[in-house]
Structure 1
Amino acid sequence: MNIPELAAYILGIIILFPTVASISKLDNWWIRDFDFPRLQISTLIIAVLIYCVTAFDFSAIWEYIMVGLLALSFIYQAIKIYPYTYIASKQVKEYVGEDVERQISVLVSNVLTTNDKYDKLIKLIIRENPDLVLTLESDKKWERELEPIEEEYPYTVKIPQDNLYGMHLYSKLELEDIDIQYLITEEIPSVHGKVKLRTGEKINIHCLHPKPPSPSEDDTSTNRDAELLLVGKEIDGKDSTLVFGDLNDVAWSRTTKLFLRLSGLLDPRIGRGFYNTFHAQYPVFRWPLDHVFHSSDFLLLKLKRLEDIGSDHFPIFIKLVYQPLQKDQNGETEEPEEEEEEWAEEKIEKGKQSERTS
């Protein structure tokens, strides 16, 4: 075996590991983080595959096996990200019409607590004119700096915190039955309630920001998964619902896909693109962490990632139109399998157990 062949084997084994890790159900942070960069991993697999084909003389069966495994690994990664490409079928159809009264727009922004470019976000809010604004990682200082928008956004929910999990909701539309919950841990808030459209119709809302799996935040993905799946199970697929926030998970992960199956909600990005919101400063390392999911009785008017505000996240903006009589236009959601429901229950119980023992 010559040096190029040896290098090919080593590179092949290294680049196969992220796929093996992603397939596994282990929840260690360094395992689950491989769920995020699927596009980057796919690109590296192609590069290593090309190198192996040129380095191998295919005189040994192991060379065929390595090339085959790399090809299968690429196919696996491609299947995961395919729905978020332009060639996939759109799950949420676009609205055509003039029903202004039933429109609702949402701007979600993880502001980054240490970011002091408050004016950039305020200018975006003025320009985009959303009905709802959700800020994440916002503390008392951010709360003070955003006071000028409260004239236009009289309905507010303020949860300033210094632990990177503060949350502020500003609304032009009337909010009702607001309930601030700490679903899994006492340090991570979420907001639940209703928003009244201009027609008087009421929509359930859930604002989330679970803790991510990372060495500085949480050793495992259990608490994040438990919060998402708990909310997913509690959502009645028959009710009009919006879920939005920084979920610290990508749309193609096992957890988020199961969340959508449990809740019956739709992802407007399917068939439209990735809309990567993190990391704003590193173009090579970007994936979609900030989400807006909705029930099937909404059609899409506008969806876009907004420009940099000095945070490590880009804000995301969506405008939807409530059209209950046209909900059959949208794609259907898959029902969770029994094994998936059991896995969800196990995750939720583990999350609650970890909080009781902490």
Structure 2
Amino acid sequence: MKHFWFSQPTSRQIDIKNIAFGLGLTGLIPCLLLSLGAYLGGVHRYFELSSHFKVQYFVISCIVFLLLSFARRKNWWLISLFCLTLNVVDVIPWYIPQFSGINTPSGQPLRVLLANVYSDNQRYAEFISLVKAEKPQLLVVQEINPIWSKQLEALKHLLPYQIVYPRFDNFGIAVYSSIPLTNTDIQYFTPYDIPSIFAEVQWQGQTISIIATHPLPPINREYFNSRNQQLLELGKAINSINNFPVVIGDLNTTMWSPYYRQFIRQTGLKNARVGFGILPTWPQGAPMLQIPLDHCLISPEINVLTIRTAGDIGSDHRPLIVDLVILDRKANRI
């Protein structure tokens, strides 16, 4: 009796393979076009929009690759492999652990909690309970309005040092801290007067510059240009800082945008996610569409112990929680 692999396929097997081929082709063509378009983000904002969904393209390209492998259509299988490769190189590296080769101090880490609370959200008690449970030394709150500002006064005994800039739109911003904030400032980088908070804290014998920022979402050409201008001007401001910078905020972009990558090249910062995964934060209510908009970008002299997202607090964003330490370079000198 011949092995199945060498036997003549039955009509049922042919039908199944044709179905697999049809499904694979249906997914492959749009996935390939969007994956290629993502690399043209600097050409037009619509292409840049397509760059944010790399995880979704990766999942679809995996399924398409398996379907076309089963269908045994070599040419289309090779195209699906190309599509899969386009997305593997942008997704998998975020899950590869990073080893600094430098000793990490054993002291208490600096815990940072970032939350875009959504200005219309009224689940104040749930968010306050999260903060009390996590006990961050630094809390960055975005979309804070006067009502949220009043409610968060309940945290004053835990986080007594505060810079609170509430607004009635979606761009109020605040930094709460358990350690003194010095050299505080509010800066604006675009004609839309979107505030960014600058402050310094002392941690592990070093000065860390905290920058909390929230650019406009790129929902139209003007906002798109404003977001990009804010990132560019913010990068210039960071390059003038002599301390260890930490940028925290809903940047309204993902790691795959050419404008994000330009910002990283300009500043030399690294994303705290590296080695820990994608950790999508928005939109909270649509898991299949979630992308990583909320970021903690750090100086190379700072190490990440852990980074994770928190649960539903009633916002369209998930909070981001990061534990940071300053790398001990002196301990590695000979």
- C-alpha contact (below 8 Å) 2:102/2:328 kept by paired residues: no
- C-alpha contact (below 8 Å) 2:187/2:197 kept by paired residues: yes
1:25 Cα deviation (Å)? Answer: 3.4
In structure 1, the partner of 2:326 is: 322
CA distance in 1 between partners of 2:245 and 2:331 (Å): 13
User: 1:174-323 to 2 correspondence within 5 Å?
Assistant: 174-197=180-203, 199=205, 201-214=206-219, 221-236=224-239, 239-323=243-327
Residues 1:165 and 2:168 are matched in the alignment: no
Larger mean CA deviation between 13-22 and 113-122 belongs to 13-22
- C-alpha contact (below 8 Å) 1:32/1:221 kept by paired residues: no
Q: Kindly tell me: are residues 140 and 34 of structure 1, through their superposed partners in 2, closer, same or farther at Cα, counting changes over 3 Å?
A: same
Q: Kindly tell me: are residues 275 and 7 of structure 1, through their superposed partners in 2, closer, same or farther at Cα, counting changes over 3 Å?
A: closer
- Of 40, 60, 78 in structure 2, the residue corresponding to residue 68 of structure 1 is 78
- Of 98, 107, 122 in structure 1, the residue corresponding to residue 106 of structure 2 is 98
- Paired residue secondary structure (2:252): coil
Residues 1:21 and 2:27 are matched in the alignment: no
Q: Deviations over 1:53-110 (max 9, x none)?
A: 566766xxxxx2x54333222211110112212xx2416679754324xx42211000
- Paired residue secondary structure (1:68): helix
- C-alpha contact (below 8 Å) 2:119/2:143 kept by paired residues: yes
The number of residues matched between the two structures is 315
- Of 144, 152, 155 in structure 2, the residue corresponding to residue 149 of structure 1 is 155
- C-alpha contact (below 8 Å) 2:25/2:64 kept by paired residues: no
- Paired residue secondary structure (1:230): helix
One-letter code of the match for 1:233?
K
CA distance in 2 between partners of 1:155 and 1:283 (Å): 35
Larger radius of gyration: 2
In structure 2, the partner of 1:40 is: 56
Unpaired stretches in structure 2, ≥5 consecutive residues: 1-17
- C-alpha contact (below 8 Å) 1:165/1:187 kept by paired residues: no
CA distance in 1 between partners of 2:199 and 2:56 (Å): 38
- Of 46, 69, 79 in structure 2, the residue corresponding to residue 30 of structure 1 is 46
Using the size of structure 2 for normalisation, the TM-score is 0.83
1:9 Cα deviation (Å)? Answer: 5.4
CA distance in 2 between partners of 1:251 and 1:245 (Å): 13
Q: Kindly tell me: are residues 9 and 299 of structure 1, through their superposed partners in 2, closer, same or farther at Cα, counting changes over 3 Å?
A: closer
CA distance in 1 between partners of 2:201 and 2:120 (Å): 30
What root-mean-square deviation, in Å, do the aligned CA atoms of Structure 1 and Structure 2 show?
2.9
Q: Deviations over 1:138-182 (max 9, x none)?
A: 101100110111233222112111221111111121112222112
Determine what percentage of the aligned residue pairs are the same residue: 25
- Paired residue secondary structure (2:289): coil
- Paired residue secondary structure (2:185): strand
- C-alpha contact (below 8 Å) 1:30/1:214 kept by paired residues: no
Residues 1:80 and 2:75 are matched in the alignment: no
Q: Deviations over 1:186-205 (max 9, x none)?
A: 24211123223374x42112
One-letter code of the match for 2:323?
K
Using the size of structure 1 for normalisation, the TM-score is 0.78
